[in-house]
Amino acid sequence: MLEKINRISEVEKFFSNKDHYYNIHEQSFIDVYNVMIDFINESVRLYEGKKQNEEQKVKDNRPYIAKVVNSVMGHGKSTAARVIAKVAHKNNIPLLFVFNNKKSMDSFRKEVQPFVKNELLLIDSDNFNDDIKNIIKNFKIVGITQQRFRDIAIGFGEFSFFSYWKRNIEWIEPIQRTIIIDEMPIFINAEAFDIGKHDNCLDWYDEMVRATNDEELTKFDCERVRVLINYIISMEMAESFKHESEYTSLPTKKLIRHLKDEQQQELLYHVLNTLQKEKVGYKYQNRYKWFLEMLEKDNVGVVNRDEKKTVLLCSKWIDYRHFGNILILDGTADIVRKIYEHGKYELIELPNYHRYKERLRIMFRVINTSKTKRKNKETHESIASDFIEVRDRVKDLNIIALPTKADIKTYVKNGVITEEQYKKYFTNTNKMEHESMALNLLNTTGQNDLAEYNGLGLLALPLRHPTYYKMYAIAIYGVEKDVSLQHENNNDAKSIQWFTDNDVQEIYRQLMLMDFSQIIHRINIRLLNDNEKSYVLIYTNRKGWKDELAKLYELEGILSFDLFRNIKFRNECKERFQYAKTVLEKEPFERELSLGKIHLNFKKWVNRHWNDEERKAIMIEVAESMNLIIHEYPNGYKKIELLPSLAFGTMANKKEKWDNLSLNK
């Protein structure tokens, strides 16, 4: 059995990177390390017990163990996993690591390979072949990607190759691997079928026809069946128009019912059965399987119509628990509780050592950044102007912007993303099986090299296509659940409601907060031993997310600044404070004056706007940019002072710069 630790020094020899050893938060590392040790020991005992019962022909109905540990980002779970791999290797305990992407796998390799030598095998799309399959069992520590893990779980590949470690000693029995998964795995097997260019209902068919020998199927038969498939999909979609509402969510019925002609049915099945399915990628094979299931069974998918868009949605939950004892390392597990509860994973909650109240500052920049609005040049220009102004003005702020993938080039062109940042983060072409590792708003998980930044700009909400949330809801609640978008006009900026059904809305809320949390913890807030503050700008008009984030991080409040509302006021501030500065510069002996001595109208103007928090913040900010500081006394009396040199954020009341909304314009 592996031993838990009381001090990190007990495992110092397993740290390849001494910087990690000296900089890591000791208690957070010990917490997650000991949880992993406990789990592996429990796993080994269960495997041994099952093996003994099998040998004695005793029925063993004990399920495999399935747990998830909520070690928040920055608490050392990746480092602990690497140390665990070395400790397990030394003690002859075989492990299977499942990585969220190839980049994480490569980092693991660099740390672990020198220690375990030739007993580590990490498998990705570049090195996996039939020869590799037969030698996987010879390696003590094995790693694969989540995508491969998912593919195997839905029938594309055999898990038996990965299940056991077999020593090169004939009489020693194979030992089953304990499975450790990095981040939340892919829990749904989902496909959408549309008659448009996206998720086209015929893409899988066209690929299979191309892969099939012309001698096996005539071109004419293939074309006829192509029309038939399109017809029955279209007819199923047309069913939704029996309901007057623009929002429809109905279970599918078997599609074959739309073909009344028996000869057409025979032709359809003949072609489908003859297609060379194994010659195309898993994506198309999976779509083929879903189509066949919808063809022959009721209640397989959902006919979903939201306004002008109609699509067939198919989704099933993927249960990995039959593969063996599984421990998931997910820093957002307590946020997406619905998902883990459905999967029957026991949640292990660890202490969170982040000091959000002290270090995290979030500012909402109120502007409509919906997909439609982001097509407008004015929206990009307004965001760019604000972001660049903040970046240039705020001293000691090292900030990076995260736009949506579609907006990256626009923000490079207008200077929001620097050339250096673009080359380093946004043009990476390394692949994780099927995904690009280039940075964007929805691709930040595992991007720990952003920790050098203390500022982050989310140039839109980390909002995925509604289909993403619908698929999770269908997998969890079934095809009877209404996954349609909210029927009412959803213009209330204070609301985060997007879906009609409250269960679906809750899935959406949790997944959104998960993405928020993953993104925010990419920058220096993840460094637990650091005292430097972390600043996050979020560009959106959906102010309802302010309350959600304030609650999540236990912040006293998140203030907002309306970009369009205050543009004119900011310009007015420049004129007013320039006048005040001119008056003060003419004073030979006084560095500060009461507002009335600047001018009575100036005093009235300041007092008129002072109780408006947004405008007060703008006045403070503009004044500071001109080396002016406004002193406010307990009785409300105010003076304005001219300083020879004023660093950004030096406030009269000595509060810190961002606490007083000095980011606001």
Where do runs of H (alpha helix) occur along 564-663?
567-585, 595-598, 600-610, 613-625
Burial of 413 (0-12, 13-18, 19+ CB in 10 A): exposed
What is the Cα–Cα distance from 646 to 654, expressed in whole angstroms? 13
Q: What is the mean pLDDT of residues 239-246?
A: 72
Longest dimension (CA), the chain: 102
What is the Cα–Cα distance from 315 to 331, expressed in whole angstroms? 25
Q: What is the mean pLDDT of residues 248-254?
A: 93
pLDDT at residue 216 in the model? 83
Share of the chain above pLDDT 70, in %: 94
pLDDT tier at 199 (50, 70, 90 boundaries)? confident
pLDDT at residue 655 in the model? 39
Residue 665: pLDDT over 80:
no
CA nearest 146: which of 435, 470, 466, 475? 435
Q: What is the mean pLDDT of residues 313-342?
A: 98
pTM reported for the whole predicted model: 0.87
pLDDT at residue 648 in the model? 39
CB 201 within 8 A of CB 230: yes
Please give the sequence-ordered ranges of beta strands (E in DSSP) within 505-545, or none if there are none: 534-539
Residue 430: pLDDT over 80:
no
Tokens in use for 417? 């993303």
Q: What is the pLDDT of residues 266-278, one digit of tens each?
A: 999 999 999 999 9
pLDDT tier at 488 (50, 70, 90 boundaries)? low
Q: What are the residues facing 68 on neighbouring strands?
A: 328, 347
Q: What is the mean pLDDT of residues 316-340?
A: 98
Query: Helices 502-520 & 544-552, crossing angle to 10 degrees?
Result: 60
What is the Cα–Cα distance from 655 to 533, expressed in whole angstroms? 14
Residue 489: pLDDT over 90:
no
pLDDT at residue 621 in the model? 83
What is the Cα–Cα distance from 95 to 163, expressed in whole angstroms? 9
- Cα angle vertex 46, ends 44, 48, to 5°? 70
pLDDT tier at 654 (50, 70, 90 boundaries)? very low
Q: What is the mean pLDDT of residues 384-389?
A: 91
Q: What is the mean pLDDT of residues 187-207?
A: 92
pLDDT at residue 437 in the model? 63
Q: What is the pLDDT of residues 548-589, one digit of tens each?
A: 999 999 998 788 888 877 778 888 999 999 999 999 999 888
Give whichever of 8-22, 510-524, 623-637 has the largest mean pLDDT.
510-524
Share of the chain above pLDDT 90, in %: 75
Residue 644: pLDDT over 80:
no
Q: What is the mean pLDDT of residues 412-424?
A: 94
Residue 646: pLDDT over 50:
no
pLDDT tier at 656 (50, 70, 90 boundaries)? very low
pLDDT at residue 316 in the model? 98
Distances (CA, A) of 443 to 189, 415, 446, 519: 20, 21, 9, 9
pLDDT at residue 645 in the model? 55
Tokens in use for 429? 């072409």
CA nearest 427: which of 411, 414, 440? 440
- Cα angle vertex 141, ends 137, 143, to 5°? 90
What is the Cα–Cα distance from 616 to 653, expressed in whole angstroms? 14
pLDDT at residue 445 in the model? 65
pLDDT at residue 126 in the model? 82
CA-CA-CA-CA torsion sign (320, 321, 324, 329): positive
Residue 434: pLDDT over 50:
no
